[in-house]
């Protein structure tokens, strides 16, 4: 494993434990050249999931893109990084366990919104406003009204 500080190729494992979601192993390493410590994650290699975008282009599923958008939606909210990572892991596991190797970006966005709605309503509305491309305040109010109606039930 290449050291992120000095680039040396050899390191030793100081600590190893399962990550919070159980699907990867977190390893704490120490560079044999400079002595700096860094963390790596080891995951099982799986079949790639392809995301079909609105313009019909295809690209590999990238969990970091989902996590970035969730972090943006949860900015200044009482949502921990662990909760956000759990949402992404849950989505990724769901996709890996499905029989489909391709998913539309619309379906992926709906999966994110479904989980954000349960996690934090403000983050859900923030994500929905970008994802559904609200054109004006009326579209925004329609979504808020729909959310309030569901909450009353």
Co-location of 28 and 74 in the same domain: no
Contact at 8 Å (CB) between 14 and 37?
Answer: yes
**DSSP codes joined into one string, 98-133:** SS-SEEEHHHHHHHHHHHHHHH-HHHHHHHHHHHTT
Which of 25-29, 92-96, 148-152 shows the lowest mean pLDDT across its residues? 148-152
Q: Do 80 and 102 reside in the same domain of the chain?
A: yes
User: For residue range 55-90, what is the model confidence (pLDDT) as tens digits?
Assistant: 999 999 999 999 999 999 999 999 999 999 999 999
Confidence of residue 148 (pLDDT cuts 50, 70, 90): confident
Do 28 and 88 belong together in one domain? no
- Confidence (pTM): 0.63
Residue-range definition of the domain harbouring residue 88: 50-152
> Is 89 within the bounds of a domain?
yes
User: pLDDT by residue (tens digit) across 118-135?
Assistant: 999 889 888 888 877 777
Please tell me the predicted confidence (pLDDT) of residue 100.
85
Residue 73 lies in a domain: yes
């Amino acid at each position: 494993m290449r050291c992120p500080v000095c680039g040396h190729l050899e390191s030793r494992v100081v600590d190893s434990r399962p990550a919070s979601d159980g699907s990867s192993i977190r390893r704490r390493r120490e560079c044999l050249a400079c002595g700096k410590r860094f963390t790596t994650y080891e995951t099982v290699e799986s079949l790639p999931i392809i995301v079909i975008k609105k313009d019909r282009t295809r690209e590999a599923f990238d969990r970091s893109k989902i996590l970035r958008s969730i972090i943006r939606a949860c900015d200044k909210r009482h949502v921990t990084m662990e909760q956000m990572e759990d949402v992404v892991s849950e989505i990724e596991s769901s996709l890996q366990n499905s029989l489909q190797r391709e998913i539309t970006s619309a379906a992926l966005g709906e999966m994110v919104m479904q989980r954000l709605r349960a996690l934090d309503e403000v983050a859900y509305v923030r994500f929905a406003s970008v994802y559904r491309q609200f054109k004006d305040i009326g579209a925004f109010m329609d979504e808020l009204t729909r959310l309030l109606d569901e909450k009353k039930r």
